[in-house]
A and B are shown apart, each in its own frame.
Chain A
Amino acid sequence: MSVDTSKVATSNRTTAATTSKPGPAGSLATCADDRLGLATVMKKNLRKVFPDHWSFMLGEIALWSFVVLLLTGVFLTLWFNPSMGHVTYEGSYDQLRGIGMSESMASTLNISFDVRGGLLMRQMHHWAAMIFIASMMVHLLRVAFTGAYRKPRELNWVIGCILLLLGTLEGFTGYSLPDDLLSGTGVRAADGFLKASPVVGTYMSFLLFGGEFPGESIIPRLYIVHVLLIPGILLALIAAHMLLLVYHKHTQWPGPGRTEQNVVGYPMLPVYAAKAGGFFFMVFGVISLMGGLLSINPVWKFGPYDPTKVTAGSQPDWYMGWPDGALRIMPTGWETVLFGYTISWNVLIPILLLPPLMLVILILLPFLEGWVTGDKRDHHLLQRPRNAPTRTAVMVALMTFYGLLWAAGGNDIIAIKLHASINQITYFMRVAVFLGPILAFWITRRWCISLQRHDNDKLLHGYETGVITRSPDGQYAERHLPISTAAAYTLTARDRDEVFTSQGDTDAAGVASPNSRSEKLRARLSTWMYVHNVQKPTAAELEEAHHHAEHEAELTSGLDHPVDGHQFDDHRLRDTDDVPLRDH
């Protein structure tokens, strides 16, 4: 089955490639190289190999929606007026005509109602922002669940986490700009958060707002942060993220011929470039359809911001929902006055401590894991989530924590849609955010371990054919058949877990070793991480199991109707070299 790939055609051309006279593309390349000397770099990278798997394209959704954000955002800046100057609206929207508002709200209404395509672009920009952050998150989960953040990619993980933070801040500054009732309510809550910061909070609030809330400075200040500062940093970090990706080469799933030393896939030019480019158009297209068909943030219904007005369902955009949920489920009255100074734990904990703590935990994950396992090797082969049960369970616990807080942030909508009581939902969440993650951790870890067992069963005893045989003495049994070599190899292409053991409290000379305490902790954590994991079978165990299977086959071969079961599946077709796969 092994193939010499150097002899397999890598092109669909029917004639051999020759170094004939360069075509127009070639002469352009020559012209450019004369001046820029790009050929040395491009020689490696034009045909750089990228492995193909759907889960490797999630980050691309984020990248392409960022491009859509840049395009639609530039369009919006042509009309948007980030000023809190007071005007009377005289535009096309009847219900607000004659109402006083800020110029930023008036120009937002102008973009929505008097610029053709303006409403579409506003909505595309907003949907793209929601998708941008959502896809960063899905991408982050993929990277974490497959262990792609291990050495040498820890730094890229850190960059990714910072991108997520910046994307969130970018979203907040963006949805605050129209100065409508909902965004103003959000800014007012943000003012409350700032004021809850100990010692400097009040001054921070005054400096940000240019005096007392709301003042006349916040929108222009948020605007410059939104269109210049954060996008600039985002662009730089995205570039670094991608450069590191190219430098490290993409991780890949283990399989026949796919090892830690190589990367198997399609070349950048043409297949990968076409798929990535095509995906850009698809992301753009989906966002256009959403922008045209699904209403988002109808600012005209909220009306201009007025600090005396409020609406039911005042929520932030989804990515701010979880700290908002944490705010909502804080017990009543957590505020202390210490030496005459007020400390608002009810805001401090959920907004100023919890989100930064979660970010730090996220950033530290690969380093913590590396420290506990003591693994200093480079990893380019991904792990299936089940083969790292503790990591998977930790991630699911974090997701559960996040998800419960997220739901708490929508408790009023859940209450009306499910005919429940907000009070009951809140009481439930106060307990569930602590118990839920523990339960999720335990269930996930056990689940992973039983999946590992199932994999070993398949390796040792084959897969369940669904064929029931009856022995002469009337006993029924399901026939198990061996899986293909390729499938079996893929299942075994993973490392055995090595529990870290402490070297003991003292060194050879009897002196207490300086790191003994942390070493012991490390050993304990390593044991906790690995102790229940199921390891892949050894060669001897496999041998033994196959021997047993052959023995059974021999016993049944004497029967009247020897059934090997393979007539019911396509294994015969798949396992032979001459007929590779069935044509569907």
Chain B
Amino acid sequence: MSNDNHTPVKHDDSHVPVHAAAEPIADPGLAPHTWRPTDVDPRAEKRAERQIAAMFIAAMISAVLFVVAYFSFEVGDNWDTFAGMGASTVSLGVTLGISLLLIGVGIIHLARKLMADAEMVEMRHPAASPPEDREATLEALNAGLDEAGIGRRPLVRNTMLGAVGVLGLPAVVLLRDLAPGSTLDIGKLATTIWEPGMRLVRDVVGTPILASEIEVGDLINAAPEALFPTEENGYPELEAGDEQVQKAKGAIIVVRMDPDDIIAMTGREKWTVDGIICYSKICTHVGCPISLYERTTHHVLCPCHQSTFDLADSAKVIFGPAARPLPQLPLAVDEEGHLVAQSDFNEPVGASYWEREKQ
């Protein structure tokens, strides 16, 4: 080996590469150490010292400024602003960042300029243990196994493994009540809160929708009235958790188009009211709400994965990964002229699932 003479540690000969002799150029060995200006020039050394100390002092100042900023800038309902930005966040971030950066740069500058920078050589050792250690360990292992006698007593070994294995069952079963009791009823996916005669109301404000007030081209993000219980409509108050569940399934979009544009599916001819047509708002792909509606094309797009549905044509998928059309909610008007549902959806809304067709 060409580099033997400059490695202080003794060499493990077993690791000389096979091809060393065939190398076209011999290893010239490490280049000699050279000095930095800070090593040989006291003025450069002093200058570096001063630079590093200046950075540390500036870091201290910046940290103090952080404290000043913390106490001087107000947050809450009366934010101080700085060039249109929240003064507190910006100043705390900048002072903390500068302080940390200066400490970091200072330490690295110290390492680069003033700490000894002669490269050192350390010998590697094979990752494997020495053969004698390996042998001794194997021996100990075999002796241990032999004394345990598990290998000679298959009955004991197998029943023990079986016992430990069966312990997995309690571990799995314990998780059953992650969805306790009847909450694990997957049949609930098939139905929503919609029921015959339930009024459609505008989302957020909860007001019922008069069919006569809707114009061609309108898009209404609507909800079932039961999610906006009042004394008048008599629906019971829902618990917050249940309300979210019902919102997640019951959300709808209502659009009105020229009745001639609608290509009604057989059996759905009576599901619209004078060009007003209603679909589930929940994408059949993975369940994002969709309402990116183009009145000119009657297309609605999902913002998550761009599935596009043609609302004029039974919400068939015309682009994107979704596989099924949006479920349609059959509409009617009540005696006051408000839009109501004829029934619940006739299929589960939202993302597909294994048992979907069975329900």
Contacts and interface: CB of A to CB of B under 8 A. Distances in A.
A444 to B, nearest CB: 27
B289 A309 contact: yes
Contact of B96 (A92, A215, A288): A288
Contacts of A293: 90, 93-94
B121 A292 contact: no
A568 interface: no
Given A2-B6, A212-B245, A288-B100, A541 B24 contact: yes
Given A192-B285, A281-B101, A333-B317, A49 B24 contact: no
Interface in B61-103: 70, 73, 75-77, 86, 88-94, 96-103
Given A207-B184, A341-B355, A346-B285, A274 B304 contact: no
Given A332-B317, A496-B19, A192 B350 contact: yes
B155 interface: no
B24 A542 contact: yes
Interface string A177-206: 000000001001101110111111111011
Given A117-B88, A335-B324, A274 B108 contact: yes
A583 B37 CA distance: 9
A339 to B, nearest CB: 9
A55 interface: no
B189 A212 contact: yes
Contacts of A455: none
B119 A212 contact: no
A274 B88 contact: no
B106 interface: yes
Contact of B31 (A1, A115, A120): A1
Contacts of A289: 93-94, 97-98, 101
Contact of B303 (A212, A262, A314, A333): A314
B357 A341 contact: yes
A440 interface: no
B235 interface: no
Nearest to A498: B19
B105 interface: yes
A48 interface: yes
Contacts of B324: 335
Nearest to B85: A293
A324 interface: yes
Interface in A312-333: 312-314, 324, 327-333
A72 to B, nearest CB: 11
Nearest to A153: B127
Interface in B1-38: 1-3, 5-8, 11-12, 15-17, 19, 22-34, 37
A307 B319 contact: no
Contacts, number: 426
Given A211-B183, A346-B285, A278 B107 contact: yes
Contact of A113 (B24, B76, B189): B76
B241 interface: yes
A123 interface: yes
Contact of B27 (A291, A337, A489): A489
Contacts of B15: 260-261, 378
Interface string A1-45: 111111011111100000000000000000000000000000000
A210 interface: yes
Contacts of B103: 278, 281, 285
B287 A191 contact: yes
A285 B303 contact: no
Most buried by B among A217, A274, A378, A581: A274
B323 A344 contact: yes
Contacts of B203: 308
Contact of A120 (B3, B93, B241): B93
B11 to A, nearest CB: 7
A249 interface: yes
Interface residues of B, number: 121
Contact of A257 (B11, B27, B184): B27
Nearest to A308: B251
A344 B70 CA distance: 53
A498 to B, nearest CB: 10
Contact of A275 (B108, B116, B120, B251): B108
Contacts of A196: 286, 351-353
Contact of B119 (A117, A265, A423): A265
B161 interface: no
A118 B114 CA distance: 39
Given A256-B29, A278-B106, A285-B97, A207 B178 contact: yes
A263 interface: yes
B122 to A, nearest CB: 4
Interface in A395-449: 411-412, 422-423, 426
B124 A260 contact: yes
B115 A216 contact: no
A356 to B, nearest CB: 18
A270 interface: yes
Nearest to A100: B240
Interface in A519-562: 536-539, 541-542
B186 interface: yes
B152 interface: no
Contacts of B12: 261
Most buried by B among A114, A117, A196, A198: A117
A201 B354 contact: yes
Interface of A: 1-6, 8-13, 47-49, 84-86, 92, 94, 100, 113-120, 123-124, 152, 185, 188-189, 191-193, 195-203, 205-217, 247-249, 256-267, 270-271, 274-275, 277-293, 306-314, 324, 327-335, 337, 340-344, 346-347, 378, 380, 411-412, 422-423, 426, 459, 485-486, 488-489, 492-493, 495-496, 536-539, 541-542, 577, 580-581, 583
Going nearest first, the 3 A-B pairs with the smallest beta carbon separation are A292-B93, A192-B286, A281-B104
13 contacts: A4-B5, A113-B77, A192-B285, A200-B354, A256-B27, A285-B97, A285-B103, A306-B244, A307-B289, A308-B223, A327-B321, A342-B353, A538-B24
